[in-house]
Structures are given as structure tokens and as C-alpha cells.
Amino acid sequence: MCRLLLLNKLPGVPISAFLHLPTAVECQSEDLEALNDAELYRMQLDCIEWRIAVEELRDAIKTPPAVVEWNVLVRIEIDIVLAAHDRIADELRYRRITATKTSI
């Protein structure tokens, strides 16, 4: 169903390097169409929970070199998860708009 987008964005990086990310990062927009609303909301919640956990971990980092390393190593993962969250939000928004138009 879902294809791993990370392989396209980061050639040569093994999939195992991203197993800690929410499963939503594996889905392209067209893959989301096959999922029901409950599945989409669960995936969206997983992205939010992941982001909260990452923020809590980041807040625990105190030394300037560690902050720099964090920003370099984790920023792309945060961007990938945020993009997945946005794709899900777009799909849910599209469904609401479509349902509203068809009920008129």
C-alpha cells in the first residue's frame, strides 16, 4: 500500500535507519485515499505523539555542541514527519469538503 518516500529523498540510506519514524512517512498522498478516516486519524496522532516525544528529548539537550548535532541529525526527520502529518491533514480536509459538496 504505502511506498517508502525516504528512499527517494535519501538514496543509499537503509530503511532500517528510519524505523523509529511514524508509519505515515511511508505513505504518499495517493496511498492515503485507500485508508478510512479512523486509520488516517490514528496515523496523524502517531505523528503528533512522535513530535512531542522528539521535542521533550530536544529540551533535555543542554550543551551547544549537542544542540548543533541535534539540529543537523534530526531536522530532516522532523521535516519528514511534519510533511506526512500535512499530507494526512490535506486528505482529511479534502474528504470533508467533498462530503459537504455531495450532501448539498
- pLDDT 10s digits, 53-77: 999 989 999 999 999 988 888 888 8
pLDDT of residue 11: 58
Q: For residues 91 and 68, give the distance between their C-alpha atoms in angstroms, rounded to a whole number.
A: 35
Q: For residues 64 and 56, give the distance between their C-alpha atoms in angstroms, rounded to a whole number.
A: 17
Q: Determine the structural domain holding residue 66 and report its residue range.
A: 6-103
Q: For the chain, what is the domain count?
A: 1
Average pLDDT of span 28-42: 92
64-97 CB burial, b ≥16 within 10 A, e <16: eeeeeeeeeeeeebbebbeebbebbeebeeeeee
Nearest to 97 by CA among 89, 46, 5: 89
- Whether residue 51 contacts residue 31, with contact meaning beta carbons closer than 8 Å, is answered with no
pLDDT of residue 12: 61
Q: Does 1 fall in a domain?
A: no
Q: Does 29 fall in a domain?
A: yes
Predicted confidence band of residue 1 (pLDDT cuts 50, 70, 90): very low
Instruction: Please indicate, yes or no, whether the overall pTM of this predicted structure exceeds 0.85.
Output: no
